[in-house]
Chains A and B, each alone.
Chain A
Amino acid sequence: MHKRAFGAAAVTGVAALLMSACGGGGEAASPSASTSSASETTTAAPAPTPTGTEAPVRDAAADLVIWTDADRAPILTKYAQEFGAENGVKVAVQISVDLREQFKDATKVGKGPDVIVGAHDWLGELVQNGAVAPIQVSADVAGKFSENSIAATKFNGQTYGVPYAVENIGLMRNTELAPTAPKTMDELVKMGNDAKAKSGGKVTNVLIQAVGKTGNAYYSYPYLSAFDGGIFATKANGDYDANKVIVNSLGSVKGAQVLADLGKKKILSTNVGDDNAEGLFTSGKAPFFITGPWSVPNAKKAGIKYEITSLPSLAGGGQMQPFLGVQMFYVSAKAKNAVLAQEFVTNYVPRKDVQLALFEQGGRPPALKEAYDEVAAKDKDVKAWFEAGKDGKPMPNIPAMNSVWGPLGQAAADVISGKDAKARFDAAQKEIVANIAKG
């Protein structure tokens, strides 16, 4: 009798264990799946993904439903209410923690929102799943935005949204450890080593850049771009061409060699990754940090005196150019309130006051030129971020980019830890081309 009761309890225990295990696995799968793609790097919320990952339930009473992430929701709510008041309708702003996936899933079963706020590199994926609708932005409205940000909202020649912010990485410098900004990587290394020597052991690193054991293609790309290398060649109309991968082009390999060299000099290391990069910089252990606007709040909190400048240039090549990430408003292809969704996105989002308000939240340079000019005059950080990305190219928004992140990141990590640059990037090229062929 005793034994049987125990058996029953044990079975229940195992069931509970299995169930909790399944739950854990599912949760882990979704954030990690998206880290491997670009979204996480560009939107780059520094905080780890919250554990509650349920999709919001569409507010049925509203005349317009907008989904966004938790950071932007408060400010957007204010302006959405204003839009509602102007037009005599009710607008609901709802928070989605895993917007890209949840929007896709909810739209498929007709429960999605009318408008979402997201990164431009989701575009290809959303188009191929029939989740977003094109919008007709007039030429004069488009002309008010920076050229790059408008280019990012296009896919196969059609426009799918209105941008509001541009983000990119740059060089953050601890001005107490390195008073002047380096122009070249060699200068940077020299300044960093001097700072290290002077500090008496407090400064341990010259440059902080997230690499990690599996690498990071987003932060590695600027090295390739300095030598006109990159990931995809462009077509005649300016779109990226998925059939022309240039990961092992002459320029890309030159960039890889710089990575190898910095790895050999212990400037870059696979032991610095997303998990510890920011901590190393904010604890004053390094004078230089390659990062984006998302690191500013924590640097301020830690009391670091910092300055933001453009990425340095590399010997024998040009300046390192980062990828641009563009934040934009999309209209759902299955919008229940298509009219108001279009009205909001095409007529309301391009307004200067809205763009300025959205800027307050994230600190990313606004995409609307007029709004940017006003902000840049007051905020030197914003100007610096913008300048750092001035000549950068939008991150590819074609679905083929999904098959690049893993192989390119790993190749960069391997090169930094001592593998031959040419051989490793040849292999990465081969793997990427094979992945793309797989479809």
Chain B
Amino acid sequence: MAADTTFRGDPSARSGPAPVWVVVVRWAAIALVVAFATLVSWRLVEQGNSLFVVLIAFVVMAVVAVYATRRAVPLKYLLPGMLLLVAFQIWPIAYTAATAFTNYGDGHLLSKEDATANIVANSVQEVPGSPRYRLSVAVPEGQDPATGDLTFLLTDPDGKYLEGTAEGLEDLPADGVEATTTGKITAAPGFVILDARQVNQRGKDLGEFAVPKGDGGIKAIGLSEAFEGRATVTYDESADKLTDTSTGKTYVPRDASWVPEDGQGEAFPQGWKENVGWENFETLVTNETIRAGFVKIFTWNVAFALISVMSTFVMGMLLALLFNDDRLRGKGFYRSILILPYAIPGFVTALLWMSMFNQDYGLINNITGLNVDWLGNPWAAKAAILIANLWLGFPYMFLVCTGALQSIPGDVREAARIDGAGPVRTVRSIIMPLLLVAVGPLLIASFAFNFNNFTLIFLMTEGGPFTSGDTSIGSTDLLITYAFRIAFSGVNPNYGLASAISIFIFLIVGVMSYAGFRRTKSLEEVN
């Protein structure tokens, strides 16, 4: 749609109104976008998510303003890209940054209200020695089952019939009452007994309903059983305190959890999410294990990414040069074969290499007759990772080099040959500079990708071997696997800390890539 309309909309090329079908298609597409956005907004409104509705409204307005008019021609090209950029780049980064300032993680997923309500609800205990009742849920005759006053028709263990309402418990006259052999009442004069689906639809009411008895109440369990229970934890909203009535202990909010006021004993497991300011970043710079491991891991991380890029590039380029030779027959076949490692999912390959590197049972030691502990020795593990990554990465380099080589015009080479340059000289002085201009930015992208190559490391070694006597710093750890372990090694995964670390890594990769791009720019200038 965009291509067609914008082309016509270009002021320089404008020659009367667009054909009818273009107009129809354009407006149909705009209507489709609006309809889809309306549908999405509808569902968001139902969930009470107003912020996103506003955002969607802005997007729709932008789409209509740009595509329904003949103005803003450049935007017609840019808008889809800009929207995708915001949705898939800016938004995740902003969200990560926002998370870095919270304690978000297991045990801190809920809001304080939800956590507190959950603690109180979970504290309901059966009153010791109280009976279990057979239960039928009913409403008084003449009332709508969906809204009527809930009434429990109960049978106690002695077979006595009772009627429980929000006011309390009363005897139910046995006249006219019918019950099953287990005692569940199936009919009682003056009441309409609800069927399973009707009871289920009143689930929310039943959750809040209890027949008061003593200091607790009779509550339903499922469809046909009721028990006498009481909450052992109460929440005093004005004092912002929890009290456990069974032990008399009081709890106060501290560090996003309810902790005992006297400092003795354990906090409630349900904590809540709150802002912690710069705390995660402080941990990052003050934590001793992080500092101790950083230099070592950073060095290996840079080396890993550099060697990976270099080795895959050199191998890919050499193969590309070889298979670009006009004299070679069956190039198509060889090229397809070479792309195979790229076509197999990376994590399958990584697991395969892991088993091939097994010291006792692996293919590599078996074939070579070596007895190297590939995955247990720090240096051998590094080599193993690089070998596996070479296998995974060279087809990509082969592909882009083949493409770039084919775009180098034949007359340039011919000119070199006429000027008396040999093959080596041609490659070094003519082909390489031309190739690097095209491939340079891809090398940087590949560097950035390998810098964060979590999958390979985690599947092959999990960052190990660990030679320092604990599991904090592994010999093949990258910053990203290291960050993963720090954030998830505690009792609870700490997404806030993980976000802070990933911002940190983002900055490192960003600076290094920037420097790299500056270098490739100079390459182009030489050219």
Contacts and interface: CB of A to CB of B under 8 A. Distances in A.
Contacts of A435: 489-491
Interface string A358-393: 000000000000000000000000000000000000
A260 to B, nearest CB: 15
A25 interface: yes
Select the residue from A9, A14, A48, A427 with max chain B CB neighbours within 10 A. A14
15 contacts: A24-B347, A63-B197, A87-B223, A88-B196, A104-B109, A130-B110, A271-B358, A276-B355, A399-B492, A402-B491, A407-B470, A423-B469, A427-B469, A430-B470, A439-B491
Interface residues of A, number: 85
A47 B24 CA distance: 53
Interface stretch (B5-13, B234-242, B422-430, B452-460): B452-460
Given A87-B196, A403-B490, A128 B224 contact: no
B191 interface: no
A14 B445 contact: yes
Nearest to B400: A10
B197 A136 contact: no
Interface string A7-41: 10110011001100100110111001100100000
A51 to B, nearest CB: 8
Interface stretch (B52-60, B119-127, B138-146): B119-127
B271 interface: yes
Given A18-B445, A275-B354, A333-B118, A346 B225 contact: yes
A10 B376 CA distance: 39
B269 A399 contact: yes
B155 interface: no
A269 B376 CA distance: 11
A434 to B, nearest CB: 9
Contact of B490 (A24, A128, A439): A439
Contacts of B489: 403, 406, 435, 438
B223 A130 contact: no
Contact of A438 (B197, B455, B491): B491
A231 to B, nearest CB: 13
A307 interface: no
A17 B449 contact: yes
A66 B206 CA distance: 21
B93 interface: no
A133 interface: yes
B479 interface: no
A104 B107 CA distance: 11
Interface string B453-494: 111001101101110011110000000000011001111110
A32 B459 contact: yes
A60 B492 CA distance: 32
Interface string A57-74: 000000110000000000
A428 interface: yes
Nearest to A110: B47
A409 to B, nearest CB: 8
B132 A10 contact: no
A28 B221 contact: no
Interface of A: 2-3, 6-7, 9-10, 13-14, 17-18, 21, 24-25, 27-29, 32-33, 36, 48, 51, 63-64, 87-89, 104, 108, 110, 124-125, 127-130, 133-136, 138, 156-158, 213-214, 242, 269-272, 275-276, 280, 333, 335-340, 342-344, 346-347, 399-400, 402-403, 406-407, 410, 414, 417, 419, 423-424, 427-428, 430-431, 435-436, 438-439
A25 B234 CA distance: 45
A335 B438 CA distance: 56
Contacts of B407: 2-3, 6
Contact of A128 (B445, B471, B492): B492
B140 to A, nearest CB: 20
Contact of B459 (A28, A104, A269, A337): A28
B471 A407 contact: yes
A352 B351 CA distance: 42
Given A10-B438, A25-B455, A128-B269, A213 B224 contact: no
A183 to B, nearest CB: 29
Contacts of B438: 3, 6-7, 10
Contacts of B211: none
A182 to B, nearest CB: 24
Contacts of B375: 213
Contact of B115 (A130, A269, A347): A130
A17 B442 CA distance: 11
A314 B396 CA distance: 54
Given A13-B400, A88-B197, A347-B223, 19 more contacts: A10-B438, A24-B346, A27-B347, A36-B488, A48-B351, A51-B345, A127-B269, A138-B227, A213-B375, A213-B376, A213-B461, A269-B360, A339-B199, A339-B223, A346-B222, A407-B471, A417-B376, A439-B490, A439-B492
A88 B124 CA distance: 30
Nearest to B109: A129
Contacts of B223: 87, 339-340, 343, 347
A400 B449 CA distance: 34
Contacts of A427: 469-470
Contacts of B126: 136
Contacts of A32: 458-459, 462
A429 to B, nearest CB: 11
A275 B376 contact: no
Nearest to A140: B132
Nearest to B448: A18
A23 B42 CA distance: 30
Given A32-B458, A269-B360, A9 B403 contact: yes
Contacts of A157: 125
A407 to B, nearest CB: 5
B114 interface: yes
Contact of B464 (A124, A129, A214): A214
Given A403-B491, A417-B376, A342 B222 contact: yes
A7 B400 CA distance: 10
B47 A431 contact: no
A14 B441 CA distance: 10
A50 B491 CA distance: 27
Q: Top 4 closest A-B pairs, CB basis?
A: A343-B222, A128-B269, A87-B196, A130-B118
